[in-house]
Amino acid sequence: MDKFDPDKIAVDEKVKIEVARMDKVSVNNNPSPWMNPATLGLKVCSLNTISLRKHMEDVRSDPVLLQSDVLCLQETWLEDGEEIDERYQLEGFKGLFNSVGRGKGQAVYVKGEVKIRSISKLVEPNIQMMKIELRNLDVISIYRSQSESLFRATHHLRNFVKSDKDTIVIGDLNYGANEVNDFSRYLVREGFTQLVTLPTHIRGGIDI
């Protein structure tokens, strides 16, 4: 290497042009609004983890999830009390949990600088809800097992929603976004709008 002459390195002009083009259109230089730290507003994200026990390190290392101000996770699979383990804490976030065991449960991580006014929880074997009340917005995270009737799920949600407060309902309801049922009809009557329109599931399904 001591005898290597750097001046012998040559770069084709086409390569220089392509590198410049790639740099210009790169994700680093053109972050999406979600990934851009300068984007104003509250960033709320939802993900079905299918066991937080197995995927906590994936959550901790995911740059997209970590841009969230409020991160709602469903199907955490944690047993009641297991969430106190330090490994389920996320640096810079406050962790809130509804843990009911295998195939169920939820966790909500709220960024430290986000001021929470109050927290409301519903913990039942087949449905879990958590409402994070902020100054100008309520965020309601839901996980509904298929064995929970949509009629009962609607009843529970109705008790959480304030008609005079802007509200985001987010989570995994185990039905398609285009399906018409008791729950979806309630959301329409209350003036909710489906914001997620692209598939969120590997089989093409869309969560609310």
Tell me what the mean pLDDT of segment 145-150 comes to.
Answer: 94
User: Is residue 25 in some structural domain?
Assistant: no
Determine the pLDDT at residue 194.
87
Domain assignment present for 194: no
Confidence label for 177 from pLDDT (cuts 50, 70 and 90):
confident
Tell me whether residue 170 is in a domain.
Answer: yes
Of 56-60, 105-109, 190-194, 202-206, least confident by mean pLDDT is: 202-206
Residue 21 included in any domain: no
pTM across the whole model: 0.86
Q: Is the dihedral of CA 82, 88, 92, 94 positive or negative?
A: negative
In a domain, 3, yes or no: no
Q: Is residue 197 part of a domain?
A: no
Determine, yes or no, domain membership for 85.
Answer: yes
The count of structural domains within the chain is: 1
- Residue 32 in domain: no
Average pLDDT, the chain: 92
H-assigned helices in the chain: 13-25, 52-60, 150-160, 182-189
Residue 3 has pLDDT above 90, yes or no: no
**pLDDT tens digits for 26-85?**
988 899 999 998 899 999 999 999 999 999 999 999 999 999 999 999 999 999 999 999
Contact 161, 132 (CB under 8 A): no
CA atoms of 135 and 207, how far apart (whole Å)? 26
Higher pLDDT, 189 or 177: 189
The residue range of the domain holding 179 is 44-189
CB 206 within 8 Å of CB 199 = yes
In this structure, the strands spanning 138-144 and 93-98 are: unpaired
CATH code of residue 140:
3.60.10.10
Confidence of residue 125 (pLDDT cuts 50, 70, 90): very high
